[in-house]
Chains A and B, each alone.
Chain A
């Protein structure tokens, strides 16, 4: 067994152990405080932990399957996220072909380009080519009503749900000296830090949260939760330096960056939900809401993390 494999398996065992502990705590809390299932906070906590098991198993299987597994997993995540996003937009009949193209042409091409590691094209395909051709497809139907809003929404949906999300599997294409064959651990680093940041912000907020940080956008977010969550996620990232090409200090700096980006991304997506008058993006993940509710902080941090690592460490 090579080093990358043994690191990955160690990481999966560690994550499994962590979730087992969470499940144990959740079960004890349920038995002591909510035996009849009436405490909604505890019921939601357990629903979230169970959904985490499913997500970790899926990601773990994709990691073991290798590059193709990871690309396919994130292509499906993009599909589900795009579906949630477009459901909330103002599209009209005239956008039908543009939307069909977004789902069945743009999305597969973007992930194909990521799979064949064609950086020169996947980094501009949606910002340039989709950006120009999607409104062309829409305008051919001759419906000008709310045109700018419609095309802007579809482009935004593609950028967030497909372009940004595809930068997670794109981490596999980086060529880092002395790190060959281990890139999948960069994805693990990114996802663990971002998601732990979300979880720890939630925990710190529940325990010590007093001062609301953005009362109009996201009433549950507090300064205490933000500071505590981001600081502890930074420590988690530093503690994971051994799976990365970074030094402990560099790992801490990158973890801090992606935790902050994740937090800000969560705020942006909350503002969109407020604007659209919904609480969650969907109902795909029990206890969490929609897929975008779980993915929002990842999509905002993934491209930044990708580019920092690419410029700082990669040869390509």
Chain B
């Protein structure tokens, strides 16, 4: 029954995001992933997962769930509606002291159900001038728990200029979402090596780093 409301709302959000940003997906040569996977992306705006969602082929959208902080998305009725009902987010309690369940087990469960995840390994929005914040351990722990799952780096470009933190009116600017080749945890790879490798894979998709390489 709620699908009657959430479907049109989700479509409206995607249409609005597209009208504002003319967002374009850049896929690697192997094309969009065909099996459940974990998209890990840079995080600079609340709209990040909407943009990833908007460029996914429609049949993949309903099987792709963002991982988000429970504290934020359960705070008000509207956020709860958007986060839980419209985008079907996997909500994680970020506070170690207070949390009841194991977030990694929760994410692994969703993958086992055949859905993909959108994960922001920086853990919070990046408001610095650095291209990326240091990754938290979540991505490594998830990869350890499900080593056979593909990890797809996703660079979201320009959305932080569309709506910087604290602004209420978005400005229209062209955004791109660049997907990289999937990675997996190597046997015996240490946490540090794995996080360094995934960070480098994500950074290499940024237009700025590509411009510097040319």
Contact = CB atoms under 8 A, between A and B. Distances in A.
Given A80-B22, A83-B174, A283-B22, 15 more contacts: A79-B172, A82-B172, A83-B173, A86-B171, A87-B158, A87-B174, A93-B164, A96-B164, A96-B169, A97-B169, A100-B169, A103-B172, A104-B169, A282-B22, A284-B22
Contacts of A99: 171
A97 B171 CA distance: 9
A277 B211 contact: yes
* Dominant SS among interface residues on chain A: helix
Interface in B159-180: 161, 164, 167, 169, 171-174
A224 interface: no
Contact of A103 (B24, B158, B164, B171): B171
Contacts of A93: 164
A111 to B, nearest CB: 16
Interface in A95-125: 96-97, 99-100, 103-104
Interface string A248-289: 000000000000000000000000000001000011100000
B20 to A, nearest CB: 8
Which one of B24, B164, B169, B174 has the greatest number of beta carbons of chain A within 10 Å? B174
Nearest to B168: A100
B173 A87 contact: yes
Contacts of B211: 277
A91 interface: yes
A79 B211 CA distance: 27
Interface string A39-55: 00000000000000000
A86 B24 contact: no
A198 interface: no
A84 B174 contact: yes
Nearest 5 A-B pairs (CB), nearest first? Answer: A87-B174, A83-B172, A99-B171, A100-B169, A87-B173
Which of A82, A96, A103, A282 has the largest count of B CB atoms less than 10 A from its CB?
A96
A88 to B, nearest CB: 9
Interface string A196-230: 00000000000000000000000000000000000
Nearest to A104: B169
A83 B174 CA distance: 7
Contacts of B174: 83-84, 87, 282
14 contacts: A79-B172, A83-B172, A83-B174, A86-B172, A86-B173, A87-B158, A87-B173, A91-B161, A96-B167, A96-B169, A103-B172, A282-B22, A282-B174, A283-B24
